[in-house]
Amino acid sequence: MKKNLPYWITTALFAFALTGSGLMTVTQQPPMVAAYTHLGYPLYFMTILGVSKLVGVAILLAPGLPRLKEWAYAGFAINMSAAVVSHLASGDPVGQATAPVVLLSLALSSWWLRPENRKLAGPAL
């Protein structure tokens, strides 16, 4: 269990943050609407990203599903990277990109620390 503790800490922090973000996005809470509008995204995009975040978190926390977990991690990496670029491209100060950088770091840490039973099997040689 000690070996898996860093994995579960990073995964839990990431899952908690993305669940909150996903719920706020899906329900189009005013702060999220303001953020998406500021970044120039149409409001229907909130539903797409919010549902994707919630499904991705469920996949990361579910037992098994190693291939889907890889896709979820990839999707989160793309989402967080795009958030950083979106903030910087819209003229936001660098500090506005801090949250997605931290979340990307948590996602990458979770991916790196995942136990063997949550990884895809390597190619048979």
Confidence of residue 71 (pLDDT cuts 50, 70, 90): very high
Q: How far is CA 28 from CA 35, 89, 92, 111, in A?
A: 11, 23, 21, 29
pLDDT above 70 coverage of the chain, percent: 96
Confidence of residue 120 (pLDDT cuts 50, 70, 90): confident
